[in-house]
Chains A and B, each alone.
Chain A
Amino acid sequence: AQKITQTQPGMFVQEKEAVTLDCTYDTSDPSYGLFWYKQPSSGEMIFLIYQGSYDQQNATEGRYSLNFQKARKSANLVISASQLGDSAMYFCAMRELGNTDKLIFGTGTRLQVFP
Chain B
Amino acid sequence: DTAVSQTPKYLVTQMGNDKSIKCEQNLGHDTMYWYKQDSKKFLKIMFSYNNKELIINETVPNRFSPKSPDKAHLNLHINSLELGDSAVYFCASSHTSSDSANEQYFGPGTRLTVT
Listed in ascending order, the chain A residues whose CB lies under 8 Å from chain B are 31-33, 35, 37, 39, 43-47, 50, 52-53, 89, 91, 93, 95-97, 99-105, 107-108
Given A43-B88, A102-B48, check contact A91 B43 (CB 8 Å): yes
B residues near A96, Cβ cutoff 8 Å: 100
The number of chain B residues touching the other chain, given as a range, is 20 to 34
Q: How far is the CA of A103 from the CA of B44 in the complex (A)?
A: 8
A-B contact pairs, 17 of them (CB 8 A): A33-B101, A43-B108, A43-B111, A44-B109, A47-B105, A50-B101, A52-B99, A52-B101, A89-B41, A96-B100, A97-B98, A97-B99, A99-B96, A100-B55, A100-B56, A101-B102, A105-B44
B residues near A33, Cβ cutoff 8 Å: 100-101
Q: How far is the CA of A46 from the CA of B9 in the complex (A)?
A: 17
Q: Which of B45, B96, B107 has its CB near the most chain A CB atoms (within 10 A)?
A: B45
